[in-house]
Structure 1
Amino acid sequence: MKVLILGGNSGFIGSHLEDKLNDLFDCKFVSMRNFDWMSENFSPNCVINLVGKAHDFTGTASESDFYYANFELAKKAFQIFIDSSADVFIHISSLAAIEEIEAPKALSEVAVYNPVSSYGKSKRDAEEWLLDQTLPPAKKLIILRPPMVHGAGDKGNLNQLYKLVSKGIPYPLALFKNKRSFLSIENFCFFIEQILLKKDQMDSGIYHLADDETLSSNEIVKIIKEETGWNTPVLPLPKRFVRWISKVGDRTTLPLNTWRLKKLTSNLVVSNKKIKIALAIQRLPRTAKEGLRDTIRSFQENNS
């Protein structure tokens, strides 16, 4: 099987997919910054769109930056699929398209859109545009919504929390109890592999990806401490006081603001039932805790 991966020639997820898929399929990882590769003779059976912009810890990205990467390029990627011999288009969206902060119950694929950031809104608009297109006969559209994906090379929120704990700064959120879904990079790659192998038995539509188990922020900090041996203090500060500090952070350079507090303490759980039924998956390669430990070890190796 020939697989064309758009936006997959660099970056965290693309590098792991390359390692995983190259042994199983005839893969071509290309950039969307130039299209010289289109002149080459490569007729894919499947197109995967990894193009997108997510993390912006500098605060310099504009709304138009997110819309270009996550919406405009998604439209171009879809047109490449339509013009190709491929019968399946796998679009990597994000849970942020429907929810970014909190959900009292496990989110299914029919949840109402509720993005709040430019990132989430651009992902939502891309999904809506794709779903509104008329697919030619024998072609399928599969939209995948993962929560935060982590692993070696990840520079996202988990890496930021790791760095915070590494500085020995007391962790002040011990009294907050929450559950959040994550996805280890190994489980992400496993889902992609299984979709490619079983694409004929899948229907077009949206599918949620996630580890089978949830993790709390307290569990994450505990595992970081266990894997590293750091003795970072954990402080059970009163919730009201922590919320007041976060509001101060909104107006200053404190590392904790109301947005980060919600991301660290709210419940955001995803149901992966639909994709597991479609692919007849009984068990993922990694449990949530195993995947997290792998990631923490990779952070250690990178900083050693």
Structure 2
Amino acid sequence: MNILITGIHGFVGSNLVVALKEHHSLYGLDIVAPEKVGVIQTFSWKDIEPASFPLQNLPKLDAIIHLAGKAHDTKNQSAAQVYFDINTGLTQKIFDFFLESSAKKFIFFSSVKAAADSVVGDVLTEEVIPTPVGPYGESKIAAENYILGNLKMKNEKLKLRDDDKQVYILRPCMIHGPGNKGNLNLLYNVVKKGIPWPLGNFENRRSFTSIDNLCYVVEGLLTKDVPSGIYHMGDDEALSTNELIALMCEVLGRKPHIWKMNKRMMEGCAGLGTLLHLPLNTERLRKLTENYVVSNAKIKSALGIERMPVRAEDGIRKTIRSFTI
């Protein structure tokens, strides 16, 4: 297949190149265009302006994978409009290009944060009514709505069947793997310094997405006849923060220091932190201790598999070991 990948030089894009280059012809679309092993050519966003279509040197496309976007700023220092300019605006631009192109498959990387900032109930499924909180999730759901609305309009206008253009909206939870410097790395640095974890009494469960499982799913969407739709993405098993710390200490060859401080006392400290603008405040305590379990049942059913190829613990170990190099 001839595949165009936006944001090809990012963490997920780089891993997809490694996973797909042996069996597919890959092209990139990015704000930078250095040579990349496995990528025939990288184009700029200006190249897909209507005046530039069709692109020179670009063969007939079979699929487009849209990764480019602004990641969630956990420090909340980014202006809200920037999220909409990038996450919504670029999606509109590349999806319009897809509708006019020869490509039959479009994979958009959204986020579970487009569905919900917090999970109500035991698990987050695709049936949830989206209630994003903040510009990151709101910009992602706006992009999703644009895709679904314009695909429907295009099919009705040209009297196309729904399977003439197959569109997949992936909502992964936190993606991790070697080379990724996200929140797992921050937690690892705390553990590495030997700082005790004081929230051992909070037994939360969270879903994660191994980059290996993610690449496996993308390959399946490209090569199998999967119905268009929204699919949540995560590993099979959810892990607690206590389990994460234990895994990190296992890799480091240390004994974990997990303190089970009184919950009410920690909540009181967090409340005081909110008043005094300290690092541990009520909102941060909620984020550190809440459950966020994501169902991957729909995507596994669509791909005809019972389990993801990589267990959650094995994927986490692989990521942690990369921090030690």
Do the structures match in fold with TM over 0.5? yes
Give 2:244's aligned residue: 220
Question: Which residue does 1:289 correspond to in 2?
Answer: 313
Q: Deviations over 1:153-174 (max 9, x none)?
A: 2122212111222222210110
CA distance in 1, matches of 2:59, 2:77: 37
* Equivalent-residue separation in structure 1 for 2:280 and 2:193 (angstroms): 15
What is the deviation of 1:262? 2.0
Displacement, 1:298? 0.8
Q: For 1:244 and 1:39, how far apart are their aligned partners in 2?
A: 62
Match of 2:46 among 27, 35, 39: 35
Compared CA separation, residues 257 and 101, structure 1 to 2 (3 A)? farther
For structure 2, the 5+ residue unaligned runs are: 32-43, 49-54
Question: Equivalent residue of 1:268, what SS?
Answer: coil
CA drift of 1:238 comes to 1.1
Query: Conserved in 1, the CA contact under 8 Å of 2:3 and 2:27?
Result: yes
After superposition, the C-alpha distances for 1:112-135 in whole angstroms (9 at most, x for unaligned) are 112112111111111122111124
Map of 2:7 onto structure 1 = 7
From 84, 89, 106, give the equivalent of 1:67. Answer: 84
1:84 maps to what in 2?
Answer: 101
Which of 205, 215, 224 aligns to 1:189? It is 215
SS at match of 1:4: strand
CA distance in 2, matches of 1:288, 1:27: 29
Corresponding residue for residue 22 of structure 1? 21
- Partner amino acid for 2:293? V
- TM-superposed CA distance for 1:18, in Å, is 1.1
Following superposition of structure 1 onto structure 2, how do residues 224-243 of structure 1 map, counting pairs within 5 Å?
Answer: 224-231=248-255, 233-243=257-267
Give the 5 Å matches for 1:7-156.
Answer: 7-8=7-8, 10-31=9-30, 34-36=45-47, 38-57=55-74, 59-133=76-150, 134=152, 135-136=154-155, 137=160, 138-156=164-182
Tell me, which stretches of 5 or more residues in structure 1 are unaligned?
A: none
Pick the aligned partner of 2:295 from 253, 271, 276.
271
Structure 1: how far apart are the matches of 2:118 and 2:309? 27
Any idea what the Cα deviations from partners look like across 1:2-52, whole Å, max 9, x if unmatched? 1111112x1211111111111121111221564348333232101110011
**TM-score of the superposition, structure 2-length normalised?**
0.86
Which amino acid in structure 1 is aligned with residue 101 of structure 2? Answer: S
2:246–2:256: 8 Å Cα contact kept in structure 1?
no
Helix, strand or coil: the match of 2:28? strand
The higher-RCO structure (CA 8 Å, 6+ apart) is 1
Question: Out of 175, 178, 183, which is 2:204 matched to?
Answer: 178
Per mean C-alpha deviation after superposition, the further-off stretch among 103-112 and 258-267 is 258-267
The answer to whether the 8 A contact 1:168-1:231 is kept is: no
- How far, CA to CA, are the matches of 1:142 and 1:51 in structure 2? 15
Residue type at the aligned position of 2:216: F
Number of residue pairs aligned between Structure 1 and Structure 2: 298
Distance apart, 1:179 and its partner CA: 1.3
Work out the CA distance in 1 between the residues paired with 2:179 and 2:276: 30
Q: CA deviation at 1:149?
A: 0.6
> What's 2:41 paired with?
none
1:181/1:211 contact within 8 Å kept: yes
- Cα distance, 1:253 vs. partner? 6.2
TM norm structure 1? 0.92
Query: Contact 2:108–2:168 (CA<8 Å) still a contact in 1?
Result: yes
Separation in 1, partners of 2:275, 2:21: 48
Q: In the alignment, residue 54 of structure 1 is paired with which amino acid? A: A
Residue in 2 that maps onto 1:258: 282
More displaced stretch, 86-95 vs 245-254: 245-254
Identity of aligned residues (%): 42
CA distance in 2, matches of 1:188, 1:260: 28
Q: Distance in 2 between the 1:260 and 1:20 partners? A: 36
**Superposed, which structure 2 residues align to 1:192-211 within 5 Å?**
192-198=218-224, 201-211=225-235
Tell me which moved more, 201-210 or 182-191.
201-210
Decide whether the 8 Å contact of 1:208 with 1:271 is kept in 2.
yes
